[in-house]
Amino acid sequence: MCEVETGVQILQRISSRLVSDVKCLDPSLFPNGGPNKGEMVEIVGESNCGKSCLILELIAKIILPVDCGGQALGAVFINCDNNINMIRLLDVMEKQTVNCSLPATRTVETQEIHDIRQKSLARLTIITCFTLDEFELTMLTLSDIFIKNPINVYLLIDSIVAFYWSKCTEKTLIRMDTYLKSLHTRLKKLCQERKVITIYTQPAYFGSGRESGLGEFVGSTDGQTMVSEMPSTLGASSSFAATAGSSNFSLPIEHRIELAEVNSQTPSDDEQKFNAFVYSKGTPLIKFYMIDKYGINWLN
């Protein structure tokens, strides 16, 4: 049976998302606030640097209730790489619930954690794409998904270019930059029309990166490590110095996070460390982190 709505009902649904504000998603990554509605966040890095882990961290912050450090908003997650263990999302949600619950002196019992996770997961829509056709169909229906459910403010994709090699065949050759620009154009249109925030991952190797100007920015804020300090700070990075600013930043992206592995300074250092270069609203900074079963632990 078809679903019938009046024009007033449709307007009320759409307006509820357009007029509401979103608070800063993660002050560690966006100290100046954001991302705001209509904006895009790009997460770039080599394999095993925590791109998918960071997606889980952000999903938890979106769907958890406000008194648990979340936003109590809805999110649509498109899982293309199938690298994410959704059981790990439960661990990430538990960590954030315990660490961010208000008041700070509050003790969160096991049953309460379970109930919070269940209610929060009801705000998450997961779409798993195994083929290019499934991904294309999902892209075509995204606008309708966000129109019908105004609580959905975020769109997360891991990874945006997962099906490039299915699209680029011997008979149909497509440049990486061309493919990426096409997806950006479609997603940016969705962001602007539906006031959606899009966050996606992308491997560091993808695209030529000839048009980037990230390396030119310098500055400092609140004691954070800045781009002007990159040469001395990142001497131990395995890939960051070579890849910083390698993405096509001329594309319509407001926020960019590049993840990289840091080589161990001493033979006795068994715990792997990583760094995140963040460019957002004209304030570039560098964050350091480690990864465990409960997700990402920021070190500064």
Per residue in 124-167, pLDDT (tens digit) is 999 999 999 999 999 999 999 999 888 899 999 998 999 988 88
Tell me how far CA of residue 63 lies from CA of 76, 141, 173, in angstroms. 10, 22, 40
* pLDDT in the model for residue 229: 39
* pLDDT in the model for residue 206: 83
In a domain, 18, yes or no: no
CATH number at residue 67: 3.40.50.300
In a domain, 275, yes or no: yes
* pLDDT in the model for residue 2: 52
In a domain, 176, yes or no: yes
Q: Roughly how many angstroms between the first and final C-alpha of the chain, as a whole number?
A: 54
Low-confidence spans in the chain with pLDDT less than 50: 1, 8-9, 11-13, 16-19, 210-249
In a domain, 9, yes or no: no
* pLDDT tens string 214-259: 333 333 334 344 343 343 334 344 443 334 444 444 566 889 999 9
* pLDDT in the model for residue 245: 43
In a domain, 55, yes or no: yes
The total number of structural domains in the chain stands at 1
* Residues of the chain above pLDDT 70, percent: 73
Label the pairing between strands 40-45 and 74-79. unpaired
* pLDDT in the model for residue 250: 57
Which residues, 6 or more positions from 200, have their beta carbon under 8 angstroms from its beta carbon? Answer: 40, 41, 42, 43, 156, 157, 158, 159, 160, 187
In a domain, 114, yes or no: yes
In a domain, 129, yes or no: yes
Domain hosting residue 97, numbered range = 29-298
In a domain, 4, yes or no: no
pTM: 0.79
